[in-house]
Amino acid sequence: MFEKLVAGLIVGGVRLLTGATARWNGCQADSRQRIFVANHTSHLDFVLLWSALPGTVRAHTRPVAAADYWERGKLRRYLASRVFRAVLLQRNGGRDPKAPDPMLEALEEGDSLILFPEGTRGNGDELLPFKAGVFHMAKARPSAQVVPVWMDNSYRVMPKGSLMLAPILCSATFGSPVEIEADESKEQYLGRLRDSVKELSAI
């Protein structure tokens, strides 16, 4: 109950500060299982995207984030584990390859995911190459729609290296689901998915 109150305060605060506007351009905001794939420019990205979702969708959507950042300090750990229910990943090969994949476990439990396949923060203009994780998730769970998302202005709200938040309007534009085509290679799919995210920046 307390976590729901905290979540409500965070969503209200983020929307007040940034607007956190959702634009559903290629799909509708409904409860089907999805993997939201977005560009990454700020540590605030998943909070903004998560806050932009309708409450019914947000309730079963879990952000995927870097463990080394969100496990640093009691407050971040609490928010990540109890409020956002984030799937925390070890970067730079820190995960035991024999251990179950936490993203796949979350999908198998019926949750949706927020994923940033660049793997690190960009500059707000250009997209870095996408890492293979989203391809493997889409192959393993074909019933989950892979939905591209363009996050606009989040890097200005919390620039890299800054601890201060600036009141700047932000938006998340959701595009049409991108399915893996028959006999499509990993490289082809990741390139097509990356293009789909980038195209949303012009809308």
CA distance 189 to 127: 15
CA distance 89 to 102: 8
The pTM of this model reads 0.91
CA distance 171 to 154: 8
State yes or no: pLDDT of 96 exceeds 90.
no
- Give the phi and the psi of residue 66 in degrees, each rounded to 5: -80, 125
State yes or no: pLDDT of 23 exceeds 70.
yes
- What is the DSSP secondary structure assignment for residue 83, as one 8-state letter? I
Q: How confident is the model over 138-157, as pLDDT tens digits?
A: 999 999 999 999 988 776 77
State yes or no: pLDDT of 111 exceeds 80.
yes
Give the pLDDT mean for 111-122. Answer: 89
Range of the domain at 62: 2-202
Lateral strand order in the sheet of 112-115: 21-24, 171-174, 145-152, 34-38, 112-115, 61-66, 87-89
Coil, helix or strand at residue 34: strand
Question: Which long-range contacts (C-beta less than 8 Å, at least 24 apart) are formed by 166-170?
Answer: 167/17, 167/18, 168/18, 169/18, 169/19, 169/21, 170/18, 170/19, 170/20, 170/21, 170/48
Band of the pLDDT at 42, cuts 50, 70, 90?
confident
Residue with tokens 């994923």: 115
CATH of the domain at 15: 3.40.1130.10
Residue of 95, 171, 163, 160 whose CA lies nearest to 133:
95
| Half-sphere exposure at residue 82, Cβ-oriented, CA atoms within 13 angstroms | 12
pLDDT above 70 covers what percent of the chain? 90
Total number of domains in the chain: 1
